[in-house]
Structure 1
Amino acid sequence: MKLALISGDGLPVSGLLTIFRNVVEAELPNDTLDLPVVADLGFSWRPDKRNFFPRGREDAGYPSWMDVSTAVPLGTARDELEHALTSIRGAVARADSLDDRERTELRRLVQSIAEPYEDYFAKWFEEHDVDWVCAVNMTLSDAVPVTLALHRAAARRWPADASGGVLFWDHDLFGSYSVYEEGARVYPSKPNQFTPLPGSHPCHRWAVVSPGLAAEAAEYPTGLSATTVPNVLPALGSGELEKRHDAFREQHGLSPDRPLLLVPVRVFQVKGVEISVRMFAEIKRTCAARNLPAPYLLVFGSLDEDPPYAAQVVSLARDLNVRDDVVFLDGVPLSSHQDTALRWHLDEVDLLRLCRAGGGAVLFTPNTADVESVGLGPALAAIAEVPCAVTEYACFEDIYGVQSGCVKITETVELVVPAERLVSLMVRNSEGDPAVREILRRDREQVLRSFDPQPWKELLREITGVAGVAEVTEIAEIAEGERRIEGHRDLSARTT
């Protein structure tokens, strides 16, 4: 099967693209994919990510199996396109209040952008002889014209009696993703006449990542049902650290005697990085009082995505006198690699391995309860079997269970108690305390149940028409899959 990826998220460092990587890498041993997977990551239609338009970062470090498009289908100046798409998104969000003239103008503007993208997608599908497209987060209204273009191009490529099509794969939907900018909701709370939905053509399939999103999708005005397909987590393996890990620590001045705290989120307003920084400051105070080595804080996201918010976070770190121990990784790549200056950029898996080896932990602190449909931070901590601290958010217990061993941050002003609890867990875990190890083992088993890879395997088997794909249904069988994938990842890291 020739697979294509179209991402509406606009960044190569988002959690949803790492999940797609995990899906592909878990499937590689089965030889069902015709490589490379061709991808358009949305830079040309997400100029609101100003510092990534139109082609993304030059040093993004994509996996060897991915071929990323650099096309700019609409030759409009960045400022003009940014204004047009931002205007469209804002108008779609307040569609119920538009008058007839405004609706007519909105349709005209949408059409002017949709036409060139329809031609681009149609030619791209033909050039690469694409069988299926995985369209990630294209249901939200960040780029209505491009979603409309995808619907039209797909209908041209796959008529009703043809095999193949588009798998719409949503990690966020309208009602459950409450992002505000300048006091206004970025997305409508439900679909409207301007938001193309999966189900407008027989070639569409629809998958969402949680039962909560499936319940929301069931209320949408479309005849297509959304299937719940849980996220697939990476395989960490159990091997020793390698030269790239040592080189990474050296280039960032990270002492191997000090633990690493990971913040696996983008530096974006709703992700609550400022809470992690405050928690880190309290953790440092706790460690000093106990005469323990102070940890480092490694934040995954790029400071270029949301510069005003990033400036606030950096300023806070300075005010709390922790800036020297905070490393902003400027976007964790999909695959570990060295840049032209021979500096290592480690992916999520390698960073988790470093965290585990040094007795670290994970902080996951969204500052808004209703913007996470899953929240991957606690899952990453669980597969690494390290402690995790989390703020309260709506779907946490649905995914991680009521018995989760995560340290709960219930009050973001008073962080002394959760900081002390997390430090105690880190120390006891490093010392091999049986009670703590049992808690972390239990959390890992819960996560492996919640993030069962089998639905993705079945979905790929169905759309490829390939029978007999190996099933992984028991926790005890995970280790063999990790061994195979880790071998592939090590080869990729050595050859990049």
Structure 2
Amino acid sequence: MAKFIPNILPSIDESSFNNIHSEFLNQHNISADSTIIIVPVRVFRVKGLEISIDIFNSLLDIYKEKSLCLPKLLIFGSMNEDPEYAAYLKEQVNVLHLDKDIIFLDEVPLQTYRNKYNKWCLDEIDLLTICHTLSGAVLFTPNVKNVESVGLGPALAAIYTIPCAVTEYSAFTEFYGSEYHHIKVDPGFPRDAAQQLFEWMRMRAAGEIEIKMQLVSNKLLTQSKFPISPWEDFIHQLR
């Protein structure tokens, strides 16, 4: 397993929430008081989106029990990559009556733009900015332990200092190690993961020092795993 990954992660501007983000929330009927949970993965089977949906369903129950403004779940990937699996997820959402709570973005563009219907299609950075600003979290739940990818979901959560819930898979343990603070997901007990996720998000929103230190630690760890300098050196050599 590599110690470093040749990938440039996005950087965050703490003051970057703007009118585009507000318009995006409005076009999806999302309250500015809602917490945004994101699943930044492609829509195909090994990504375990059905696990993320189960956790979110349990999380919704917690918010309802506490009479809080309900969160929303944004799923990044294209629905055309694995149509059969996408249809399975849609059916899961329908059975759980989550149609108004889960948004399938059906692919995230490389750069934010307005489409022909005058609707905003946000890139990864803008979606993460919303998630960060509205005290959200990342779900990353592969359903097989030997998934080949290290997985950028935990890295994106770390860079934006937001909580991340993760199922156990070999590449995560080998690459991120035991120092990465996260909610451990057992697919058989989604309510447990949802409860922990709720607590982490509320603590972060309240500015509690302990959770802040853990999330900053994740950011520093991730920055060491995804160094920028090799790319800077490479670009310099091309000039």
| TM-score (normalizing by structure 2) | 0.95
Q: 1:243 aligns to what? A: 19
1:333-348 alignment, distance < 5 Å: 333-348=109-124
Cα deviation digits, residues 37-85 of structure 1 (max 9, x gap): xxxxxxxxxxxxxxxxxxxxxxxxxxxxxxxxxxxxxxxxxxxxxxxxx
The reply to whether residue 427 of structure 1 matches residue 202 of structure 2 is yes
Gaps of 5+ in 2: none
> Cα RMSD (Å) of the superposition?
1.5
Q: 1:355 aligns with which of 121, 131, 144?
A: 131
CA distance in 2, matches of 1:455, 1:431: 37
Q: Is the 8 A contact 2:5 2:225 kept in 1?
A: no
1:268 maps to which residue?
A: 44
- Hey, what's the Cα distance between the residues in 1 that align with 2:175 and 2:189? 26
Q: Secondary structure at the match of 1:312?
A: helix
Return the alpha-carbon distance in structure 2 between the equivalents of residues 292 and 422 of structure 1.
15
Match of 1:329 in 2: 105
Q: Give the share of equivalent positions with the same residue, in percent.
A: 38
Q: 1:428 to 1:229 in 2, by over 3 A?
A: closer
Q: Distance in 2 between matches of 1:324 and 1:413?
A: 25
Hey, what's the Cα distance between the residues in 2 that align with 1:310 and 1:298?
14
| Equivalent position of 1:439 in the other structure | 214
Task: Give the aligned partner of residue 473 of structure 1.
Answer: none
Amino acid in structure 2 at the alignment position of 1:441: V
What are the within-5 Å matches in structure 2 for residues 201-280 of structure 1? Answer: 211=2, 229-280=5-56
Counterpart contact for 2:2–2:175, Cα < 8 Å: no
Partner secondary structure for residue 323 of structure 1: coil
Q: TM-score, normalised by structure 1?
A: 0.47
Q: Is the 8 A contact 1:273 1:313 kept in 2?
A: yes
Residue 176 of structure 1 aligns with which residue? none
Which structure ranks higher in relative contact order (CA pairs < 8 Å, sequence separation ≥ 6)?
A: 2
2:92 paired residue number: 316
**Conserved in 1, the CA contact under 8 Å of 2:36 and 2:131?**
yes
Corresponding residue number in structure 1 for 2:191 = 416
Q: 2: CA distance between counterparts of 1:371 and 1:377?
A: 14
Displacement after TM superposition at 1:307 (Å): 0.9
Q: Deviations over 1:156-211 (max 9, x none)?
A: xxxxxxxxxxxxxxxxxxxxxxxxxxxxxxxxxxxxxxxxxxxxxxxxxxxxxx61
Change (3 A) 1:261 1:229: closer
- Whole-Å separation in 2 of the counterparts to 1:314 and 1:442: 36
Cα deviation, residue 229, structure 1: 4.8
Asked whether the 8 Å contact 1:336–1:346 carries over to 2, the reply is: yes
How many residue pairs match? The answer is 239
The one-letter amino acid paired with 2:208 is D
Q: Which residue is 1:390 aligned to?
A: 166
SS across alignment from 1:412 = coil
Distance in 2, matches of 1:287 and 1:325, equals 12
2:180 counterpart residue number: 404
Contact 1:230–1:450 under 8 Å retained in 2: no
